[in-house]
């Protein structure tokens, strides 16, 4: 039970203000379908954190800060490009089906979680606790608890949100974060 509770609280706290919360807000504002988005977050988080837990349990000695920072930096820049591309889909937001919202969330959230601090926390927790299932259940629950209000607030305020501005700001933030992480990786190199 301790591994579940520690994992839940660690990820819920780490997720506050994280880029995946911004992604959840963007998806909620774009698709306006909270349940398929939450289902996508759940499935993507389960898959991502299962992999992270397995890595933490077996291969943690190979995960250097440089590799993790490069992965985060590259994923941030990819998310910046995605944020700009999604702007062209705004006109179709009302007509988009649940399957598209689910699939878009599943793919985008899985990619955004690669190298994320919650994934790194999952690796560390899995290395420290023997029960991988308790760790993954805790980290996934923490992720859902942190993103649930964002998804529903995004839906509630989507008519009042300037989507174009959100896409540009999000893209800019992702680029800045990507550069920061790549710069950190370069500093780690000998």
For the stretch 135-176, pLDDT in tens is 999 999 999 998 998 898 876 665 666 667 766 876 787 788
Exposed (0-12), middle (13-18) or buried (19+): which is 99, by Cβ within 10 Å? exposed
Supply the mean pLDDT for the chain: 79
Q: What is the pLDDT of residue 89?
A: 37
Return the CA Rg of the chain: 16
Residue scoring higher pLDDT (94 or 68): 68
Ranges of H-type helices in the chain: 2-15, 19-31, 34-58, 65-85, 98-113, 117-128, 132-157, 163-188
Q: What is the pLDDT of residue 155?
A: 60
Cα–Cα distance for residue pair 20/16, rounded to 1 Å: 9
Mean pLDDT value of segment 179-188: 86
What are the tens digits of pLDDT across the range 6-35? 889 888 877 776 778 888 888 888 888 899
- For residues 105 and 37, the answer to whether their CB atoms sit within 8 Å is yes
Q: What is the DSSP string of 16-48?
A: TT-HHHHHHHHHHHHH--HHHHHHHHHHHHHHH
Q: What is the pLDDT of residue 145?
A: 94
Mean pLDDT value of segment 39-65: 84
Query: Distance from CA of residue 72 to its chain's centroid?
Result: 11
Structure tokens at 74: 């590259």
Structure tokens at 153: 């607030």
Whole-model pTM: value is 0.67
Query: What one-character DSSP code corresponds to residue 87?
Result: G
């Amino acid at each position: 039970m301790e591994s579940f509770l520690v994992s839940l609280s660690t990820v819920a706290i780490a997720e506050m203000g994280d880029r995946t919360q911004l992604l959840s807000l963007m998806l909620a504002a774009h698709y306006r379908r909270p349940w398929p988005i939450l289902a996508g977050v759940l499935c993507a988080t389960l898959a991502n954190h299962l992999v992270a837990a397995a890595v933490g349990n077996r291969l943690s000695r190979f995960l250097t800060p440089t590799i993790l920072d490069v992965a985060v930096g590259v994923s941030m820049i990819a998310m910046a490009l995605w944020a700009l591309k999604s702007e062209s889909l705004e006109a179709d937001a009302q007509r988009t089906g649940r399957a598209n919202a689910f699939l878009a969330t599943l793919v985008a959230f899985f990619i955004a979680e690669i190298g994320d601090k919650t994934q790194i926390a999952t690796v560390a927790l899995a290395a420290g606790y023997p029960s991988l299932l308790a760790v993954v259940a805790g980290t996934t629950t923490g992720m859902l608890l942190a993103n649930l209000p964002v998804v529903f607030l995004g839906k509630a305020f989507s008519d009042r949100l300037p989507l174009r501005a959100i896409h540009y700001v999000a893209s800019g933030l992702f680029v800045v974060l990507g550069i920061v992480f790549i710069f950190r990786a370069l500093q780690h190199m000998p």
